[in-house]
Structure 1
Amino acid sequence: MRQSEGGTNLTTRNQYIRMHIAKTLIHLMKAKSLEAITITSLVKEANVSRMTFYKYYKSKIEVLSDYMYELMNAYMEDTKQKTDIGVFRELKHICHCFTFFKMYSEEITVLIEANMYAVIIDTLNDYMDTYVLPIFPYSKYELYYYAGALCNTYIKWIKSGMKETPEEIATLIYRHLDTKK
């Protein structure tokens, strides 16, 4: 079970509340800038108390970061269930990545439009540090390069209306990888 910074266990209910706050914030960001959204308006819209908000978060940026980490955790769980996608840097795995995150393109678009690129890339870099670096023989800088390339490609793909399929995007990326294992 994941733990919060204060060391308390994050139960399923806690996770539900945190994600409800995050989804509410993202919903509000569709109409207002992040700066224009007050904690008061956020908690009122989410139907939670200020105390509940501050139990989990120190800021709205932390809410968005937590949301991205939860998306990445969901991706990790999803990839564990897939036995036919290969491993990191393989074509099927890259395709799966774009297919999975396409489901969250609306939410990620809100982050992009709010210039929250750092929230997105920091999550990807942490994923590389935590899950990929210990397993694969790449330097952390190679992994950051790869994460940045995936992130930028994904962002530009979303901004251009996702005209290409995840398979087409994955194939383009895969062709440019050093496929030596």
Structure 2
Amino acid sequence: MNENDLRVIKTKKALHTALLALLKKQSLESISVSALCSQASVTRGTFYLHYKDVAGLFDEHLSSLLQDLEESYMEPYRHGLRNLPLQLDPSTIRIFHHVKKYQPFYEIVFDKKSPLSYYYSLFEKIKRLMLDNTEEYSDLLRDHAMLTSYQANAIMGLLIQWYEEGFERSPEAMNDELSFLVKNRLTE
């Protein structure tokens, strides 16, 4: 099976879209392969050609999303800034663009009826990214793990507020807000 085959790409996209539609109504554990295939307009045989079970499809979706999140988070660091918080340029922030790109998934993650495991998967990924990118400063901090948890929760808080506002603000407006908050917190 060629993963670059247009038919494979279209089938997987249909299955991912169907999965998100079903996750808005029910838990991952209660989604059957039959319901997923019906929603995606593919046969069960086609599904099993690509995945072992529904959890496998979810894992693939989450893995792809977290990879994109990591690339988005790393974008400001690619500009070679040493003192990133004070030099943070809103135009280099990509995390809100990432969330907008995957908005249907984030609507599920931040829905109060969703399992907390979705939230914690995202939180842990952000926390790991922050830990990895501030390691060189860890000996200057009182408690590196506490600071990283605090910062990851701050990002999550902004994302939840944006979700609660229906994602009405543009990613660029959210970039400006994050930049403003980071710079003003550091200069107080």
TM range (shorter): 0.5 to 0.7
The aligned counterpart of 2:120 is: 121
Q: 1:54 to 1:175 in 2, by over 3 A?
A: farther
SS in 1 for 2:151: helix
Q: Distance in 1 between matches of 2:116 and 2:92?
A: 20
Deviations 1:116-166 (A, max 9, x none): 44313313413542x443342243443233222211220221111234422
The aligned counterpart of 1:4 is: none
Instruction: Tell me which structure has the larger Cα radius of gyration.
Output: 2
The aligned counterpart of 1:142 is: 147
Within-5 A mapping of 1:20-169: 20-30=14-24, 32-34=25-27, 37-46=31-40, 47-49=42-44, 52-53=47-48, 56=51, 59-60=54-55, 63-77=57-71, 83-84=78-79, 86=81, 89=85, 90-92=88-90, 95-113=93-111, 114-129=113-128, 131-137=129-135, 138=138, 139-164=144-169, 165-169=173-177
Per the normalisation by structure 2, the TM-score is 0.62
Structure 1: which 5+ residue stretches go unaligned? Answer: 1-10
Per the normalisation by structure 1, the TM-score is 0.63
Q: 1:170 to 1:99 in 2, by over 3 A?
A: farther
Deviations 1:5-48 (A, max 9, x none): xxxxxx556x9465543321102334x32366433211333315
SS in 2 for 1:174: helix
Q: How many residues align?
A: 166
Amino acid paired to 2:120? I
Identity %: 13
Q: What CA RMSD, in Å, does the superposition of the two structures yield over aligned residues?
A: 3.9
Q: 1:145 to 1:23 in 2, by over 3 A?
A: farther
Structure ranking higher in helix proportion: 2
The aligned counterpart of 2:141 is: none
